[in-house]
Amino acid sequence: MRDYWEESEIKNKKINAKKIILSIAISILVVATIVVVALYVTNNEFRNWVDVEIFKKEISQDKVTTIELDESESSNIYAFNKYIGILSKNKLSLYGSSGGEEANLEVQITNPLFDSANRFLVIGESNGQKVYVVEDKEVAWESSVEGNISKVCVNKNGYVAVIMTGTSYKSEVQVFDPEGNSLFISFLSYTMAVDVDISNDNKYLAIAEVDTSGTIIQSNVRITSIEKARTDPSNSDENNYKSEQNKLIVNIDYQDKDRIVCMYTDTINVIENGQESVVFENENKKITAQSINLEKYFVTVEEESSGIFSANSIINIIDVDSKNIQNYIVDTSIKQIYTKGSIIALNLGTEVEFINTGGWLVKRYIANQEVTNVTVSDNIAGIIYRDKVEIINL
């Protein structure tokens, strides 16, 4: 019996030792993970090393998929959904992430205006009359409008708004449903429509207007009920937000919760709950670029001197709901920014950095020549050169 108890005691000691070793190993792993995460968040050099060496977020020009362009033909390139669209000679070719052509659509437009949301792409003839809507890889509908098209927009459900000039009115805004049926036209007698957007629930149309007929510039945002406008356009206005005098509105963007972000030349404002308020001011800041074309966020680029002949660029990513700011810093001037959905592309000359609205690097593209232009969606980006488009999967 004594031998039995001694043997059991030895076994228990072995089991306990294994548990202790396992607990120590787990504790070391947890502590190491916390340290690595903390370093990744706080140390730029370490984060860059991890992004490049571990996560493989850096890609060089010689390792990307390329679409060749005919230099003798004029091409317009636009990224939407998961495709790179190339419009040339009245043909819209759609390419996937592998670089293969997935669709070839007839689109009778030579000087296009683009906008996209979700799986929808709208194309309008700049200063012309033709409008096309592409849903995924097919032309959903086409139509002609009266007047000259100056702007097009589409919401995530396929509702389209078109701004027209050159009629007997200062501006007209025509709204179409996802099947291409014209719902109504808003006629603006005294103001010029500079931008337009449709709410995500398809209920409201927002028009950014500017009145320059007097000595003072007057900007305002007009909210129209789409349902009321279908039956009684003259009595369909829900609200009209007038800015301070001499403020010039540039863009508007409908976001969730019927919130509208308004970009002026000197501030960024938000309209919600029947009130318009300033959320960002450009005064006393060297702002080099701004965009409100993001989901739930807007972005500003502020340049600050880092030496006699050098400068850093601070990318401020502002959450419209909480007003929290995420910063992303690059040690050079930014040539241009491009935004869509949750992606911000920074053109640094021979590099393009793609970051998300959380302030994290998604992909870094390294070129051996100056980048001419960039087009970006949530899923794919195109680096545009004179003779080719290079595909970046995001």
Q: Alpha-carbon distance 92 to 76, whole Å? A: 9
Segment 210-215 shows an average pLDDT of 88
Looking at the DSSP assignment, which residues form a beta bridge with residue 193?
209
pLDDT class of 5 with cuts at 50, 70, 90:
very low
Rounded to 10 degrees, what is the CA torsion of 105, 165, 190, 159?
-10
Per-residue tokens: 194: 């500079």
Q: Alpha-carbon distance 347 to 353, whole Å? A: 7
6 has a pLDDT exceeding 60? no
199: Cβ–Cβ under 8 A, 6 or more apart, which residues?
155, 205, 206, 254, 258
Q: Alpha-carbon distance 351 to 339, whole Å? A: 16
Rg of the chain over all Cα atoms, to the nearest angstrom: 27
pLDDT class of 72 with cuts at 50, 70, 90:
confident
Q: Which of 150-154, 238-242, 306-310, 383-387 has the lowest mean pLDDT?
A: 306-310
4 has a pLDDT exceeding 50? no
pLDDT at 244: 92
Q: Alpha-carbon distance 64 to 382, whole Å? A: 10
From 208, 204, 241, select the one nearest 225 (Cα to Cα).
204
Segment 46-55 shows an average pLDDT of 72
Segment 342-363 shows an average pLDDT of 95
- In contact, 269 and 278? CB cutoff 8 Å: yes
DSSP labels for 188-231? Answer: ESS-EEEEEEE-TTS-EEEEEEEE-SSSS-EEEEEEEEHHHHHH
Taking the CA of residue 351 as centre, how many other CA atoms within 13 Å lie in the half-sphere pointing to its CB? 15
140 has a pLDDT exceeding 50? yes
Sheet of 311-319: strand order equals 287-291, 297-305, 311-319, 325-330
- The fraction of the chain above a pLDDT of 90, given in percent, is 74
pLDDT at 8: 53
Higher pLDDT, 260 or 22: 260
From 360, 294, 371, 287, select the one nearest 328 (Cα to Cα).
360
Which of the residue ranges 4-13, 49-58, 122-131, 316-325 has the most confident prediction, judged by mean pLDDT? Answer: 122-131
- Taking the chain, what is the end-to-end CA distance rounded to the nearest angstrom? 69
pLDDT class of 281 with cuts at 50, 70, 90:
very high
pLDDT at 126: 97
Residue 365 in 3-state DSSP?
A: strand
- The fraction of the chain above a pLDDT of 70, given in percent, is 91
What average pLDDT is seen over the chain?
90
pLDDT at 218: 95
204 has a pLDDT exceeding 80? yes
Higher pLDDT, 377 or 55: 377
pLDDT in tens, 164-182: 999 999 999 999 999 999 9
Per-residue tokens: 267: 């501030």
329: Cβ–Cβ under 8 A, 6 or more apart, which residues?
44, 312, 313, 314, 315
Segment 308-330 shows an average pLDDT of 89
47 has a pLDDT exceeding 50? yes
Higher pLDDT, 50 or 262: 262
Q: Alpha-carbon distance 192 to 220, whole Å? A: 10
DSSP labels for 132-185? Answer: EEEETTEEEEEEE-SSEEEEEEE-TTS-EEEEEESSSSSEEEEEE-TTS-EEEE
Using a 10 angstrom Cβ sphere, with 0-12 exposed, 13-18 middle and 19 or more buried, the burial of residue 141 is middle
Q: Which of 84-88, 120-124, 209-213 has the lowest mean pLDDT?
A: 209-213
Segment 234-242 shows an average pLDDT of 90
- In contact, 123 and 134? CB cutoff 8 Å: yes
Q: Alpha-carbon distance 64 to 84, whole Å? A: 14
Q: Alpha-carbon distance 215 to 41, whole Å? A: 52
Segment 125-136 shows an average pLDDT of 97
Token pair 């000259």 in the structure block, residue: 148
